[in-house]
Amino acid sequence: MRVYGILATGLGAVLLMAASACASTVPGDGRVAVGERAGSERPADTTRPTEGTDPSRTGAPTDDGTGTLECPGPSVSPAGAPYCYTAPTGLPEVELGDPTAGHEGSFRTSYGFGPTDHIDVQAYVVGIDTDELADAEIIAELDEVILELERGGFDFDEEPASLLIDGARGFAYRGTSTDRSQAIVANFVFRGLNEVQINCASIDRADVIDAACLDVLGSLQIVS
């Protein structure tokens, strides 16, 4: 089972970010990201072919002026993306097939062993400043997202675990595919107008994917 990253459309007018660019390694000064996970989760799933890594790219990416990424190098970040993170050790970049649920994001990067076991990161622009919303408001919108994913073949816990990622608010939904073969967690992280979704999924390599997902979340930086 595979699910695309998907935006809570009720948060306002949804504008998908520019088409995906190549993933790249970028140097940085090494700002420590806050990767505090509340609760005990086992990671989720997604899709869409990733472009190959281009180690020749060296510029640290920035957003439209409201923030700057300071990524410990080498880090993974498509050119112009609002996020960066340390590539999970031992996991190759992968291309994932068509989704069974959800909508495609932008600036997509995926690592793992294929559709069954992987980590997938996508970005979205939300049409409202999420920093001004209460947790309950964001969760109410995410409830609609989770319902759509469940219609695509997944079961999720009703209540998310709270996350603090690089000082930004996040929410993690633990679940499984409806046939109970695949464990999933969909992690949604919000800062300003940007949302980054980190989906982790596992069937055969749960220990590897779980550890790598924690590393990605712990190193993730996101700008507004």
Which pLDDT value is given to residue 159?
94
Is the previous residue joined to 74 through a cis bond, with omega within 30 degrees of 0? yes
For the chain, which residues make up each domain, given as ranges? 9-222
More confident position, 36 or 72: 72
Residue-wise pLDDT for 171-180, tens only, equals 999 999 999 9
pLDDT band at 100; cut points 50, 70, 90: low
pLDDT band at 214; cut points 50, 70, 90: very high
What's the fold here for domain 9-222? Protein Transport Mog1p; Chain A (3.40.1000)
| pTM check: above 0.85 | no
- In the beta sheet, which residues pair with residue 54? 24
Q: Looking up tokens 């970028």, which residue turns up? A: 26
Which pLDDT value is given to residue 101?
59
Residue-wise pLDDT for 104-161, tens only, equals 789 999 999 999 999 999 999 998 999 999 999 999 999 999 998 899 889 999 999 9
CA dist 182 and 172 (Å) reads 16
CB 200 within 8 A of CB 184: yes
Tokens of 83: 């996020």
Average pLDDT for residues 155-170, to the nearest whole number?
96
